[in-house]
Amino acid sequence: MREFVIMTDSCCDLPYNMVKELGLQVQPLSFLMDDKEYFNYPDNRDISPKEFYDKLREGKLGTTSAVSVGSFAEAMTALALQGKDILCLAFSSALSTTYQSACIAANDVMKACPGCRIEVLDTLAASMGQGMLVWLAARKKEQGATLDETLAYVQQMRHRLCTWVTVNDLHHLKRGGRVSATAAVVGTMLQMKPIIELSDEGKLEVRSKVRGRAVSMQTLLDKMEEYHFDPATEVFISHGDCLDEAQKLADMIRKKYKVKVHYINHVGPVIGNHTGPGVLALFFLAKA
């Protein structure tokens, strides 16, 4: 059986120590801010989460870019020349062209390196929801699963993945076209907080609005019951430089479900550019 490597992109928002531990190949997306290009590496070598979110608080806004075909092709070719196959789990195609770039690169590399196999899967997920699927795939691989078995497993799990998000500043959603300018101004005055779901098609959809941060956090928790959270599985949380609130949400989950919240990490700059400081995102698996 040929060895295979799990590849993904930096919108998975997995912490660097996990990337190293699991032997993942992570291709960075990038963004332009203050006329400077930054790459979103898992080790935050170009810019720290704190520095990025502070820039957003100052009113600065970046322009984001997907992983290029060339970047994927270079990384895939290096692995193919080592005799390794690749399972690439990509950021939702509804939010980025990264998946399409990976598909084009995979086809080019397989033509150039006969015998190499590269499978690219659209996770239909983002941030640590995508990261959870990557983590589950890596665990499956560690248990001895083949590339085919791991791919089939992730295809199954992505339809059980639930992603619920709340943001603290409506003006960032306004810039991304998610709410109107009037709604952003009025909503901010009334302390309205949108409750957003990542749909089955991998799109961010505002499902409701509630008043106040505490209520929005409680609403995220309530979604776990509404969507039949499987307490035998894991919970991931990501945040936009609001660790205290992420930990508070984790405590609320532990108290209600007696489960471990496995990982808490920052929302990376590519997604955070559109959601702003104070974003909270909850990821869990519904019962099969």
Q: What integer pLDDT is reported at residue 175 of this predicted model?
A: 55
* The model scores a pTM over 0.85: yes
Q: What integer pLDDT is reported at residue 35 of this predicted model?
A: 92
Give yes or no for a contact between 264 and 213, defined as CB atoms under 8 angstroms apart: no
Residue 1 confidence class, pLDDT cut points 50, 70, 90: low
Tell me, what DSSP letter sits at residue 240? S
Burial class for 100, CB neighbours closer than 10 Å (0-12, 13-18, 19+): middle
Specify the CATH number for 4-29+66-158; select among 1.20.120.1200, 3.30.70.600, 3.40.50.10440, 3.40.50.300: 3.40.50.10440
Query: Cα 267 vs. chain centroid, distance in angstroms?
Result: 8
Residue 191 confidence class, pLDDT cut points 50, 70, 90: low
Q: What integer pLDDT is reported at residue 96 of this predicted model?
A: 94
Q: What integer pLDDT is reported at residue 168 of this predicted model?
A: 83
Can you tell me the distance from the alpha carbon of 65 to that of 26, in angstroms, rounded to the nearest whole number? Answer: 15
Burial class for 2, CB neighbours closer than 10 Å (0-12, 13-18, 19+): exposed
Give the domain ranges of the chain: 4-29+66-158, 161-285
Q: What integer pLDDT is reported at residue 262 of this predicted model?
A: 83
Q: What integer pLDDT is reported at residue 183 of this predicted model?
A: 41
What average pLDDT does this structure show over 1-20? 94
Residue 24 confidence class, pLDDT cut points 50, 70, 90: very high
User: Any idea which of 60-74, 191-205, 208-222 has the lowest mean pLDDT?
Assistant: 191-205
Count of beta carbons in the 10 Å neighbourhood of residue 218 = 14
Give yes or no for a contact between 124 and 98, defined as CB atoms under 8 angstroms apart: no
The average confidence (pLDDT) of the chain is 91
Strands (E), 152-191: 161-166
Q: What integer pLDDT is reported at residue 131 of this predicted model?
A: 98
| 161-285 topology per CATH | Hypothetical Protein Tm841; Chain: A;domain 3 (3.30.1180)
Q: What is the pLDDT of residues 56-86, one digit of tens each?
A: 999 888 899 999 999 999 999 999 999 999 9
The angle, 0 to 180 degrees and rounded to 10, between the axes of the packed helices 213-226 and 243-257 is 40
What average pLDDT does this structure show over 85-98? 97
Q: Which residues pair with 204 in a beta bridge?
A: 198
Counted residue by residue, the chain has a size of: 288
Can you tell me the distance from the alpha carbon of 36 to that of 28, in angstroms, rounded to the nearest whole number? Answer: 16
Q: What integer pLDDT is reported at residue 173 of this predicted model?
A: 57
Give yes or no for a contact between 253 and 245, defined as CB atoms under 8 angstroms apart: no
Q: What is the pLDDT of residues 111-161, one digit of tens each?
A: 999 999 999 999 999 999 999 999 999 999 999 999 999 999 999 999 999
Q: What integer pLDDT is reported at residue 260 of this predicted model?
A: 83
Residue 274 confidence class, pLDDT cut points 50, 70, 90: confident
Give yes or no for a contact between 151 and 253, defined as CB atoms under 8 angstroms apart: no
Q: 36: helix, coil or strand?
A: strand
Above 50 in pLDDT, residue 186?
no
**Residue (of 96, 84, 150) closest to 122 by Cα position:** 96
